[in-house]
Amino acid sequence: MGHWWHENIAEPGKLPLLLALAAFVLTFAITRTITRMIRAGKGPFRNITPGGVHIHHVVPGVVLSVVGGFGAVASGRHGVAAGVFAVIFGVGAGLVLDEFALILHLDDVYWTEEGRQSVEVVVLTASLVLLVLAGFSPLGVDDVTDEEQQGRLGLIATYVVNFCFVLICLFKGKLRMAVLGTLVPFVALVGAIRLARPTSPYARRFYRHRHRARSRAMLRAYHHDVRWAGPRRKFQDLIGGAPDQVPLPPAGKS
């Protein structure tokens, strides 16, 4: 364990990244817990509204991200300062991305259907950072044997090929498969081979005159969305809380 930690975390300088990821995930979890308590009217926490203006937590998040980011660049990848600034950046990033949907829509959509986008972005970010940590940093370790060097070159080649599959998945409109494919190469390969989403750039470019392929893509996308919409919503609600229910208009009115 000690040898693995030194070779894959300490020597490549990944400890600040690990600390940033831990701070990011912990901050998001704590923030969501507090906001859900505020929403339910429980506990001592309340919204911060000086002068009647609601100060969203994205505001201190931006400040912490800037301080932590510049501090991390100045301190490098080793030492106590690097770890401290990494934690500051992770906390700031957690606060900012928790309100990603608010930034995207320039509106307070935290507890609406659009607010689910914040949860998706947080999961995406954590997954990508975890991918970097799970790798063996083939470009960042010194004094390796010829056998280890060949293994690392093979690993780099695998990453490059899989990255191409991930790009194809993105071009085909399969964002979640692309993200999962960065962690599991087989998933990216399957996504690259299968039909594209009907609204994707790939479908608009290559299915324009292929009516049968376009129809199959639309049918497959429909069945996929029907099958996975429910479980995906439950997962998002479990992490970020269920959005507010929009009341239906009275009968006979629009």
Question: In this predicted model, what pLDDT tens digit does every residue of 178-219 receive, in sequence order?
Answer: 877 876 778 888 888 888 888 888 888 888 888 888 888 888
Q: How confident is the model at residue 140 (pLDDT cuts 50, 70, 90)?
A: very low
Q: Is residue 132 domain-resident?
A: yes
pLDDT in tens, 237-249: 777 777 766 554 5
Burial of 93 (0-12, 13-18, 19+ CB in 10 A): buried
Q: Are 106 and 99 spatial neighbours (Cβ–Cβ below 8 Å)?
A: no
Q: Residue 22: name the closest of 73, 88, 75 by CA.
A: 88
Residue 1 within a domain: no
Between CA 117 and CA 81, with CA 58 as vertex, the angle to 5 degrees is 115
Q: Is 230 within the bounds of a domain?
A: no
Structure tokens at 204: 């608009």
CA 226 – CA 242 distance, rounded (Å): 19
133 domain-assigned:
yes
**Residues in the chain, total:** 254
Look at the chain and report how many structural domains it folds into: 1
Residue 173 lies in a domain: no
Q: Where are the beta strands (DSSP E) in the chain?
A: none
Q: Is residue 169 part of a domain?
A: no
Question: What token pair was written down for 170?
Answer: 């993105």
Distance of alpha carbon 240 from alpha carbon 111, whole angstroms: 9
Q: Is residue 222 part of a domain?
A: no
CA 180 to chain centre: 11
The C-alpha atoms of residue 205 and residue 183 are separated, in whole angstroms, by 28
Mean pLDDT of 152-171: 81
Global model pTM greater than 0.75: no
pLDDT at 85: 95
Each residue's pLDDT tens digit, 84-109: 999 999 999 999 999 998 888 888 88
Contact 190, 172 (CB under 8 A): no
CA distances from 231 to 95, 193, 204, 224, 236 (A): 26, 25, 29, 12, 9
Q: Give every CB contact of residue 12 below 8 A, 6+ residues apart in sequence.
A: 77, 137, 140, 141
Its domain, for residue 15, covers 9-140
Helices (H) and strands (E) in the chain, counts: 11, 0
DSSP string covering 129-178: HHHHHHS--TTS--S--HHHHHHHHHHHHHHHHHHHHHHHHHHTT-HHHH
What is the band of 253 on the pLDDT scale with cuts at 50, 70, 90?
A: very low
Asked whether residue 45 is domain-assigned, the answer is yes
